[in-house]
Structure 1
Amino acid sequence: MEFRAERGAFAEAVAWAARALPARSPVPVLGGLLLETDAGRLTVSGFDFETAARIEADAETAASGRVLVLGRRLLDICRVLPEGPVSCALEGTRFTVEAGGTEFGLSTLPLDEYPALPVTPPSYGAVDAAAFATAVGQVAVAAGRDDTLPVLTGVQLRLEGEEMTVSASDRYRYAVRRLPWKPEAGAGGGPVETLLPARRLLDVARSLARCGSVRIGLDPSASAGGGLVGFEGGPMRSVVRRLDGRLPGYGSLFELTGATVAEVECGALAEAVRRVSVVAEANSPVRLDFSAGDGSVRVRAGYGDDVAAQRLPAGLTGAEEVTVSFNPAYLLDALNSFEGPGLRMELLGAGQRALLSAVAEEGAFVSHRHLLMSVKQLV
Structure 2
Amino acid sequence: MDVTAPAHRLSAAVSAASRLLPARAGLRLRADAAGLTVAGSDPDLAVRFACPATTHTDGSVAVPAAPFAETLRMLDTDLVRLVVEGSRLALRLDNARFALPLLSSEAGLPTPEPPQVSEVDGAMFASALRIVAGTASKDDPLPLFTGVRVQAADHLTLTASDRYRMAVARLPLRAPGSLDVLVPATLLTEAARQAKGNVGLHAGRGRFGLSWDGGLVGTAVLDAGFLSEDSIPSAAVDTTVTLNADALAAAVRRVGVYAEDRRVLTLEVGGSQVRLASARQDTGEAEETLKADVSGGRTSPSFQARYLLDALQAFTGERVVLSIQPGMRACILRPEEPGEVRLTYYPMPMLAR
Work out whether the TM-score is over 0.5: yes
Contact 1:354 1:373 in 2 (8 A): yes
Contact 2:117 2:202 in 1 (8 A): yes
Contact 1:2 1:89 in 2 (8 A): yes
In the TM superposition, 1:332-371 aligns within 5 A as 332-349=309-326, 351-360=328-337, 367-371=342-346
Offset of residue 158 of structure 1: 1.3
Partners of 2:170 and 2:222 lie apart in 1 by: 21
Partners of 1:76 and 1:260 lie apart in 2 by: 55
Offset of residue 147 of structure 1: 2.6
Question: TM-score, with normalisation over the residues of structure 2?
Answer: 0.92
Judged with a 3 Å threshold, the aligned counterparts in structure 2 of structure 1 residues 115 and 95 are, in CA distance, closer, same or farther, namely closer
In the TM superposition, 1:19-58 aligns within 5 A as 19-23=19-23, 28=24, 31-58=25-52
Q: Which of residues 312, 316, 324 is equivalent to 2:294?
A: 316
Offset of residue 167 of structure 1: 0.7
Q: Which of residues 193, 203, 207 is equivalent to 2:180?
A: 193
Letter paired with 1:201: L
Q: Secondary structure at the match of 2:210?
A: strand
Partners of 1:177 and 1:70 lie apart in 2 by: 38
Q: Cα RMSD between the aligned structures?
A: 2.2
In the TM superposition, 1:212-361 aligns within 5 A as 212-219=197-204, 222=205, 227-251=206-230, 253-292=232-271, 295-304=272-281, 305-319=283-297, 321-349=298-326, 351-360=328-337
Q: Which of residues 166, 169, 179 is equivalent to 1:174?
A: 166
Offset of residue 339 of structure 1: 4.6
Contact 1:143 1:153 in 2 (8 A): yes
Offset of residue 115 of structure 1: 5.5
Contact 1:168 1:247 in 2 (8 A): no
Contact 1:353 1:374 in 2 (8 A): yes
Partners of 1:85 and 1:72 lie apart in 2 by: 20
Q: Name structure 1 gaps, 5 residues minimum.
A: none
4+ residue runs of structure 1 moved beyond 6 angstroms?
Answer: none
Contact 2:62 2:108 in 1 (8 A): no
Offset of residue 366 of structure 1: 7.8
Deviations along 1:220-277, whole A, 9 cap, x unmatched?
A: xx4xxxx111211111111121112423432362523242001121122222222333
Offset of residue 342 of structure 1: 0.7
The match for 1:12 is: 12
Offset of residue 116 of structure 1: 3.5
Q: Which of residues 125, 131, 143 is equivalent to 1:132?
A: 125
Letter paired with 1:369: T
Letter paired with 1:309: E
Deviations along 1:172-205, whole A, 9 cap, x unmatched?
A: 2121111111336xx5xxx531111111111111
The match for 1:145 is: 138
The match for 1:88 is: 82
Q: Secondary structure at the match of 2:321?
A: strand
Q: Secondary structure at the match of 1:117?
A: coil
Judged with a 3 Å threshold, the aligned counterparts in structure 2 of structure 1 residues 366 and 69 are, in CA distance, closer, same or farther, namely closer
Judged with a 3 Å threshold, the aligned counterparts in structure 2 of structure 1 residues 56 and 252 are, in CA distance, closer, same or farther, namely closer
Query: Which segment is superposed worse, 50-59 or 145-154?
Result: 145-154
Q: Secondary structure at the match of 1:333?
A: helix
